[in-house]
Structure 1
Amino acid sequence: MTIGLQQEIAPASAPALRLHMIPTELGPATVRVQQGSGGGDPASGTPVVYLHGAAGTWTTFRALLPREPDADRVLIDLPGWGESTADVRLEDFSVEAMGRAVVEILDSLGYRRWNLVGHSMGGFLALHLAARWPDRAAGVAAISATTFGVSAAVRHPVRSLSGLPAFVRTLWAMRSMAALGPAGPALIRAVAATPVMGPLLSPLFADPAAVPGQVIRGLGHDARPASFWRAARAVALYDFGQWRSIRCPVLATRGDRDVFTPPSDLLRLSDLVPHVRLVTIPRCGHFANIEQPERVLRLLDELRVPSGRRRP
């Protein structure tokens, strides 16, 4: 069942976003849909589905949403994040359950095939969806997907301090905040309202001074420590071998100063995924969708994943 709630004004004066609340096995998910210029029956179109990371919500993709989309956009607050925290069943969280929840959402909206654009954990999830539903995935863009390195760091955090120190510190911080219950996110939001949050998040960006303050505050406001910790544990148990069944084109990127996605992750991905293009984005950290949105949009065009804008 899909319940349409209201219209929202989209970023940059683009067409309105239609807000839906869709039940899934992990709890209700808040979903925003923006109709592309083609219109028509969803079953005959291929939307661009945006999957955010464990440290964000759909809003981390704002800079990738220019005007006049040529395909429908589906922006999901995954169960446990953003506006999808009410009645969430984190005790049932796994990569497989989250994948099924995304498919439930897309089935409810009437979409049979999809182009997937995922950042960080969302890139990991996009690759999982392409492996489990190969006939339905038309393309994957994995932006700084947190895969092999993060999985090893969750299993062996002390051993990984030398290789992924920023992630291990974040993992420990999120685990500690999760142990505080509702007080954890409240504490992070309080810190996000102060100048302290900027230096705390600076390792995630190549040029922290260029990142708008509202973006930094937004990342702090959107922090969900319990969901982050559950997602990290799920990644640690994942069987990466199933990615050999991916059949669609895949774009995998990382920033050259990415502290969560090491170069070795992209190389190992190329050993598993048959049709993958690897790109390292210069002067960029973990959030290329925030720091280098125009470069990301060009890469999406080259992948032939509709980016939500008309070609000239």
Structure 2
Amino acid sequence: MIPDYELTGPPQAPVLVLSNSLGTDRTMWDEQLPELSSHFRVLRYDQRGHGKTPATSGPYDLETLGQDVLDLLDHLDVAEAHFAGVSLGGMTGMWLAINAPERIGGLALLCTSAALGPPENWRERAAFVRANGTRAMVDSTLDRWFTAEFASRPDVVTKYGGMIAASDDEGYAGCCEAIAGMNLREGLGGITAPTVVVAGYDDPATPPEHAERIVAGIPGARLFLLERAAHLANVEQAERVNRLLVEHFVPEGEGMSITSGETASTDGTGTGMAVRRQVLGDEHVDRAIERKTEFTEPFQDFITRYAWGELWASEGMDRPTRSCVTLAILAATGCHDELAMHVRAARRNGVEASTIREVLMHVAVYAGVPKANSAFALADRILDAETDENGA
């Protein structure tokens, strides 16, 4: 089956396939299209039973949905493409990268899972939708897709509530059954496409631990945890997701778009600034740039070039592990200002609070209780503030 699709961007550019989540159509990628189509031939399509792609009788499985993509690529005579997918779209991408690796050049997996059980929950949802229609799913779905403040916006309710209600009942139910029967965990180790995994810190549908398990399974995969983002992180944190996708899919030195007015350079400064923003967050980096003076500028350039452009940009160690090493060193040496910054960065990189605690326990044994005591007090304040901010 060839899904309904649209192509946008330069005809000779590399093809980037964008795959939608359960209950959405391809316009869920509207916020990405202007940026991505300046670099790629963007191929947006609707999953079976969503948008303009008709439903067939269910149940479906991931092979069915993945084969739809292969049929589409064959129809367009595209031998290889990059692939980015949210939720169900990410599951489709993993299936493709495992079963048709020669067709996937690079892979971006957003707010997704390699096994999202228990299966009976998905079969119950399929039965509910067949009995009551997708309109009955609108309110509960919006609560999962977005943080409370974002979900209350009238434009969001109109656009995304309308998407859910417009999804074909049988198509939605069939896709639920595809998720019920999915378990991709054993195949993750065979994925060879360069992979970036993005998770929303506030995502109740596929919490960050699902992304962590994917990253642990795919060789060389990198994880980015986005604050103030729930399940449709590409909508709620569009600018940050755009930057991550371009940085992942555009080779360094080929016009990488980092932020407005910035381009990558071959000396590591551009890459360093991109990585620095990914790890520390835009707000922190923007403040550092604003405070930069003629006296401190050479130092800022130095750390951007070497600490961020070489060490943190290296694929020799994944970022959660690198965060843990950094925390241990900073706590052991009593660098409290830097430690506070990197506790926040570690959470952004997907490091659990319980793991931070274990790191500091090691510091107590190997570097001394007084240093660990100070580090525990500082980290506890930061983690408490994070809990208060998220209303937990």
Give me the whole-angstrom Cα distance separating, in 2, the residues matched to 1:200 and 1:273: 29
Q: Read off the aligned partner of 1:32 and give its amino acid letter.
A: E
| Corresponding position of 2:380 | none
Give me the whole-angstrom Cα distance separating, in 1, the residues matched to 2:78 and 2:248: 21
Q: Read off the aligned partner of 2:61 and give its amino acid letter.
A: S
Give me the whole-angstrom Cα distance separating, in 1, the residues matched to 2:187 and 2:211: 16
Which of 129, 132, 156 matches 2:96? Answer: 129
Equivalences, count: 250
Give me the whole-angstrom Cα distance separating, in 2, the residues matched to 1:215 and 1:154: 29
Q: Does 1:177 align with 2:118?
A: no
Residue correspondence of structure 1 range 84-233 to structure 2 within 5 A: 84-85=53-54, 88-91=55-58, 93-148=60-115, 150=116, 152-155=117-120, 157=121, 172=124, 174-179=126-131, 184-185=133-134, 188=135, 197=138, 201-206=142-147, 207=149, 208-210=151-153, 212=155, 213-233=157-177
Which digits, 9 at most, give the CA deviation of each residue in 1:92-129, with x for residues without a partner?
Answer: 62211211111110111011111101011001111111
TM-score for both structures, normalised by structure 2? 0.58
Which of 72, 94, 105 matches 2:41? Answer: 72
Q: Is the 8 A contact 1:284 1:292 kept in 2?
A: yes
Secondary structure, in 3 states, of the residue corresponding to 2:49? Answer: coil
Q: Is the 8 A contact 2:129 2:172 kept in 1?
A: no
Q: Does 1:255 align with 2:224?
A: no
Secondary structure, in 3 states, of the residue corresponding to 2:152? Answer: helix
How far the C-alpha of 1:178 sits from its partner, in A, is: 1.1
Change in Cα spacing, 1:270 to 1:220, as seen in structure 2 (3 Å) is closer
Structure 2 runs not aligned, ≥5 long: 258-262, 264-392
Q: Is the 8 A contact 1:35 1:69 kept in 2?
A: yes
Give me the whole-angstrom Cα distance separating, in 2, the residues matched to 1:272 and 1:222: 36
Q: Does 1:30 align with 2:4?
A: yes
Which of 24, 31, 54 matches 1:56? Answer: 24
Q: Is the 8 A contact 2:145 2:203 kept in 1?
A: yes
Give me the whole-angstrom Cα distance separating, in 2, the residues matched to 1:302 and 1:310: 6
Quick check: which one's strand share is greater?
1
Give me the whole-angstrom Cα distance separating, in 1, the residues matched to 2:141 and 2:174: 22
Q: Is the 8 A contact 1:47 1:115 kept in 2?
A: yes
**How big is the alpha-carbon RMSD for the aligned residues of Structure 1 and Structure 2?**
2.5
Give me the whole-angstrom Cα distance separating, in 1, the residues matched to 2:154 and 2:42: 25
Which digits, 9 at most, give the CA deviation of each residue in 1:72-94, with x for residues without a partner?
Answer: 11111122211111xx4333622
Which of 257, 281, 288 matches 2:226? Answer: 281
- Greater CA deviation, 105-114 or 215-224? 215-224
| Corresponding position of 1:10 | none
Which digits, 9 at most, give the CA deviation of each residue in 1:13-56, with x for residues without a partner?
Answer: xxxxxxxxxxx1xxx521111132xx34xxxx530101001110
TM-score for both structures, normalised by structure 1? 0.72
* Percent identity over paired residues: 22
> Of the two structures, which has the highest relative contact order with CA contacts closer than 8 Å and spacing of 6 or more?
1
Which digits, 9 at most, give the CA deviation of each residue in 1:150-206, with x for residues without a partner?
Answer: 2x2224x4xxxxxxxxxx7xx7455312135xxx24xx1xx79xxxx5576233211
Change in Cα spacing, 1:92 to 1:225, as seen in structure 2 (3 Å) is closer
Secondary structure, in 3 states, of the residue corresponding to 2:31? Answer: helix
| Corresponding position of 2:364 | none
